[in-house]
Amino acid sequence: MSYLDNVRVFVRVVELGTLSAAGRDQRVTPAVASNRIKELERQLGVRLFNRTTRKLTPTEHGRVFYDGAVKILEAVDEAESAVADLSRNPKGALRITAPLGMGRRLIASGIPEFHDRYPDIEVRLRLSDRNVDILAEGVDVAFRLGILEDSNLRMRGIMNCDRVLCGSPRYFEKREVPATPDELITGRHDCLLLRYPGSKEYYWTLQTPEGVRKFEVAGPYDSDDGDVLTEWALDGRGIINKPLFEVKHYIDEGTLMPILQDTPPLGAQLAAIYPHKRLQDPKVRLIIDFMADRCQRLIGKILAESPPARVQEPVE
């Protein structure tokens, strides 16, 4: 077994806490991950972990070795990136993540084309609407709709995206269409919310004549999958707050109708977020350039498309 591979598994076990999680991250079985840790301990002549039935915690030797191991792996990654940049033949694994809806529509469908251009780059895509911890989970690039809150990360803006409040005509047959945003918080309307462990989205931020305001909306149920919220809205279950490009098709065909257009939700910036240390990695620059161009083109096309003109029935 490669000593460097053993070190990589060790670092991920420390960061993720279990052999199974580290094995999945490194694409090896828990048994292989365990063998690599044992081999590393044999090579170093010390015990690196205290083992319990649920979790591995580093010993004092393990914590000291971890600090040095991280620096070694970063140096190796930087050296490989420099060589790849010089050879114009980037190689290696690239871990990217994106929200479910945007990821399915814009990111995932572009991965095959990206791989055709750069066949030696191995892309590992993870889609999730939860707020992925980029540093802890070893992510190289996260494509997000939102703002940058972590100063340990860098952000490259791609484009600003309008958001829209909408619901199905069936829902508004049962409930009056709200005339003001305040009607959303009176209990007369069901708002479908995106929530997950650690989520902060317990309110909607709207642009009003008085300025930007936060509305603590509520509803009978929520989900950690934004596409599920859209399906519920289509089924007449409530009102959603979504990026316009994700629901424009339904608005054009009339299965969803926009509301409160004079006080729309605050827009969101589509951006690529990545750790500082990844700035010089050519793989990171390539995937951001590729996806930025792709997202701008696809979203621009979606928003530019107009619904087909309805044929007027002849008057008898």
pLDDT tens for each residue of 171-181:
999 888 999 99
- The answer to whether residues 59 and 115 belong to one domain is no
Say what the pLDDT of residue 86 is.
45
- The answer to whether residues 204 and 61 belong to one domain is no
- The answer to whether residues 152 and 276 belong to one domain is yes
- The answer to whether residues 149 and 288 belong to one domain is yes
**Domain edge (last residue) among 60, 87, 114:** 87
Closest Cα to residue 182, out of 260, 268, 236? 260
Say what the pLDDT of residue 278 is.
64
- The answer to whether residues 5 and 81 belong to one domain is yes
- The answer to whether residues 181 and 254 belong to one domain is yes
**Per-residue pLDDT averaged across 177-189, rounded?**
87
**Domain edge (last residue) among 40, 59, 87:** 87
Residues 262-274: pLDDT tens digits? 999 988 889 998 8
Residues 273-282: pLDDT tens digits? 888 766 667 8
CATH number (domain holding residue 187): 3.40.190.290
Whether residue 169 is predicted with pLDDT greater than 90 in this model: the reply is: yes
Least confident window among 247-251, 254-258, 267-271, 302-306:
302-306
- The answer to whether residues 38 and 102 belong to one domain is no
Say what the pLDDT of residue 44 is.
85
Domain residues for 69? 1-87
Whether residue 104 is predicted with pLDDT greater than 60 in this model: the reply is: yes
Does residue 222 belong to any structural domain of this protein?
yes
Whether residue 80 is predicted with pLDDT greater than 80 in this model: the reply is: no
Does residue 225 belong to any structural domain of this protein?
yes
